[in-house]
Amino acid sequence: MSFIADFHRLLLEKPRFNVKQVGAENCGYADVAVKSKNCYYCFGVFYCEDVYYARYSRKCVSCSGLTFCANCEWCAECVDCSTCYMCDYCQDCGNCRECRFCKDCFGCSDCFGCAGLYKKQYCMFNEQLSKEEYESRMKTIDLGNADHRAGIQQRVDEVRKQSPNLGIQQFSCEDCIGNHLSECKGCYRCHDSFALEDCLYNIETNGNKNCCDLSICVESEFCYQCVHCPMGYNLNFCFQCDYCSDSEFCAWSKNLKNCFGCVYLQNKDYHILNQPYSPEDYAKEVERIKKELIATKQYNLTPYLFTEYEKKRLATETDSVIQSLPPL
């Protein structure tokens, strides 16, 4: 099919950029930095400021070493935490303040080495203390001492083994099925995402509405099977497209509208395979191409798969998603 061949040619026509930033300022060595400022060595940060060594975190300020965190401030080395302040080495905690080495704690403050607590204060290794006892014991802890730190980690591990682990982590969510979700509503089988509404099968996304099968997309609406497409609207099968709308099979592009099969374009509308069309001719040609793609079962992501490695993986991969695609 000529469309597939021409689309492959366009995909290989130019070198691909190595770093993606959208509306970012002073984000050195940061990839997929969206509307963030002063972030260093981060991978997937959204609306963050003064954040270092973080991966896929949203609306965090003055933090370091975060992974999948949201609305955190002055936190370090935390994973899957939401709305926390001055917390260090915590995991799956929400709305906590000045906690360290805690897991599955919610609404807690001034806790150390705890697990599975709710609205507690002045606890150490899940033991309730008075304020004076807690402050006195905290003075004896020296995290700079390697031996002392190893002993603390051993105690923390023992406490976590004695506390049940939550099977699903959701924070401020409504009517959602999925894990590690924050501020989401009406979502099904979504994971590691923030602020979604009425979405299906989204992973590592945030701010999307009415979207299905998206990965690493932000503030997109009515999009299907797209990857790395921030601020998209009504997109199908797009990859690395910014601020695009009403387009399909577009890649490595920006500010496109009513485009089909376009690669490495900016600020264009009514283009097919990088060539301009009148609105009337565009509609007719797109309809013709889509009919052929549907007839050959290639109206999906398979036009992106053209290397020998990808063909071999499609033929041999045991993953259920890969197996659902038709053979090349």
Confidence label for 24 from pLDDT (cuts 50, 70 and 90): very high
Q: Domain segments of the chain: what residues?
A: 22-162, 171-316
Give the pLDDT confidence score for residue 321 in this predicted structure.
52
For residue range 278-299, list pLDDT tens digits in order: 999 999 999 999 999 999 999 9
Evaluate if residue 148 carries a pLDDT over 70.
yes
Judge whether residue 319 has pLDDT over 90: no
pLDDT of residue 1 exceeding 60: no
Q: Which residue has the higher pLDDT, 123 or 19?
A: 123
The whole-number pLDDT of residue 259 equals 98
pLDDT single digits (tens) 98-128: 999 999 999 999 999 999 999 999 999 999 9
Is the pLDDT higher at 260 or at 12? 260
Residue 197, number of CB atoms within 10 A of its CB: 17
Cα dist from 92 to 15, 37, 83, 117, 157, whole Å: 40, 26, 11, 12, 15
Output the DSSP codes for 69-114. Answer: -BS-BS-BS-BS-BS-BS-BS-BS-BS-EEEES-BS-BS-EEEES-
pLDDT, tens digit, 9 for 90 and up, residues 211-231: 999 999 999 999 999 999 999
* CA angle 165–167–169, rounded 5-degree value: 95
Amino acid at 115: A
pLDDT digits (tens, 9 = 90+) for 164-223: 888 889 999 999 999 999 999 999 999 999 999 999 999 999 999 999 999 999 999 999
Q: Token pair 């979207």 is at which residue?
A: 211
Measured CA distances, 150 to 44, 90, 114, 125, 139 (Å):
31, 16, 16, 15, 17
> Max Cα separation, the chain?
78
The yes-or-no verdict on residue 308 having pLDDT over 80 is no
**173 within 8 A of 182, measured Cβ to Cβ:** yes
| pLDDT tens figures, 45-85 | 999 999 999 999 999 999 999 999 999 999 999 999 999 99
